[in-house]
């Protein structure tokens, strides 16, 4: 597997890299049909973002368009596929960051928004704030005329049963570590990072959080620096995994800081935190992203991470397991 793409030195080549969650994803629990469904949806999401980039669109537009495809799919734990809380509701988080301006937008614990990444974008572009939480964020989305969705839009019997089973076991569970009845629906947080033809980097992340979560728990996804970070000077990163560990280790900004202050490459910096720091403290998960030259890295310390990238030439590669 090529985890690094070296671009030519001439002009900025566009690149887009995505993830659909990391976790205990094992080939023996998968069917061919499910594998194909994931590969196809990752490719569709990459193609949508690529079309934005190749037509001179911004990296922020590409990231948003790509994540919307994944939010609209029941395959991932974000948007439509968001898992149920302890109360049988859904609570979604998302964030987006523009590496040119360092502007950012985030929403946490929203319940009525069809595409949380679009709400995060609206916060970035149409408010003076970075982060809106709870009912206030839903209210903001409504005021901005964003598409809302009813509880039935988010309902599936499988997700509801998973929540009930975990309640019976009296525990919460990370979406991507769920071993549900089918044994083959490893769902996860989604994220995208792009560099556009002007060399601007953007990153975004969206999630439905943990099955059976309570008390308005937010993970790293809505936290700028932990779940999402972008800076044209260094890199763009989107994380997925055990959010609490990702917050404590400020994972995405740590990678940027290793590059800025420690002269590490993006590949070395991202591998260092995922396979060294986080692994030592039990922080399961991974990141995807790219640096200012379009070099891609996608390290993870779990058995699998849905992921892929598309290059300037439109070459798509998607992966599920370690290779």
Query: Which one of 69-77, 177-185, 193-201, 260-268 is the stretch in contact with its own copies (CB under 8 A)?
Result: 260-268
- Can you tell me the distance from the alpha carbon of 202 to that of 193, in angstroms, rounded to the nearest whole number? 6
Walk across the sheet containing 228-230 and list its strands.
228-230, 235-241, 285-291, 296-297
The pattern of x and - marking residues 192 through 221 that bind its own copies according to CB under 8 A reads: ----------------------xxxxxx--
Residue 139 lies near its own copies (rule: CB under 8 A): yes
- Stated length of the chain: 323
Closest CA to 277 of 301, 306, 253: 301
Mapped onto helix, strand or coil, the DSSP state of residue 146 is: coil
Closest approach of its own copies to the CB of residue 134, in Å: 3
Determine whether 172 is an active site residue.
no
Residue 40 lies near its own copies (rule: CB under 8 A): no
277 within 8 A of 249, measured Cβ to Cβ: yes
Query: Which one of 61-69, 137-145, 150-158, 295-303 is the stretch in contact with its own copies (CB under 8 A)?
Result: 137-145
Closest approach of its own copies to the CB of residue 17, in Å: 22
Residue 227 lies near its own copies (rule: CB under 8 A): no
- Considering only 14, 25, 108, 239, the residue that binds its own copies (CB under 8 A) is 108
- Can you tell me the distance from the alpha carbon of 128 to that of 323, in angstroms, rounded to the nearest whole number? 44
Q: Across the strands, what pairs with 23? A: 304
Closest CA to 159 of 209, 198, 232: 209
Q: Which residues bind its own copies (CB under 8 A)?
A: 97, 102-104, 108-109, 127-137, 139-140, 172, 214-219, 223-226, 229, 243-244, 247-250, 253-254, 257-258, 260-262, 264, 281
């Amino acid at each position: 597997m090529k985890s690094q793409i070296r671009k030519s030195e001439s002009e900025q080549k566009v690149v887009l890299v995505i993830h659909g969650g990391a976790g205990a994803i094992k080939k023996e629990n998968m069917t061919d049909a499910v594998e194909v469904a994931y590969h196809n949806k990752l490719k569709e999401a990459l193609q949508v973002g690529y079309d934005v980039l190749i037509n001179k669109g911004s990296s922020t537009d590409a990231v948003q368009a790509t994540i919307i495809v994944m939010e609209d799919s029941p395959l991932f734990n974000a948007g439509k596929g968001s898992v149920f809380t302890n109360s049988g509701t859904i609570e979604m988080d998302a964030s987006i960051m523009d590496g040119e301006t360092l502007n950012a937008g985030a929403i946490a614990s929203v319940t009525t928004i069809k595409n949380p990444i679009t709400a995060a974008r609206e916060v970035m572009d149409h408010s003076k704030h970075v982060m809106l939480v709870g009912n206030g964020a839903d209210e903001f989305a409504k005021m901005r005329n964003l598409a809302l969705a009813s509880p039935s839009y988010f309902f599936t019997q499988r997700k509801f049963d998973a929540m009930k089973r975990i309640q019976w076991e009296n525990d919460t569970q990370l979406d991507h570590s769920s071993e549900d009845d089918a044994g083959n629906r490893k769902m996860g947080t989604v994220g995208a990072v792009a560099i556009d033809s002007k060399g601007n980097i953007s990153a975004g992340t969206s999630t439905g959080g943990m099955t059976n979560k309570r008390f308005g728990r937010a993970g790293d996804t809505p936290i700028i620096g932990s779940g999402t970070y972008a800076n044209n000077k260094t890199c763009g990163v989107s994380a997925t995994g055990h959010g609490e560990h990702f917050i404590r280790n400020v994972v995405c900004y740590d990678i940027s800081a290793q590059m800025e202050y420690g002269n590490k490459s993006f590949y070395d910096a991202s591998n260092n935190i995922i396979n060294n720091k986080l692994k030592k403290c039990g922080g399961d998960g991974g990141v995807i992203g790219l640096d200012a030259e379009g070099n891609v890295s996608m390290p993870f310390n779990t058995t699998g991470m849905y992921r892929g990238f598309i290059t300037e030439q439109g070459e798509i590669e998607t992966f599920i397991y370690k290779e």
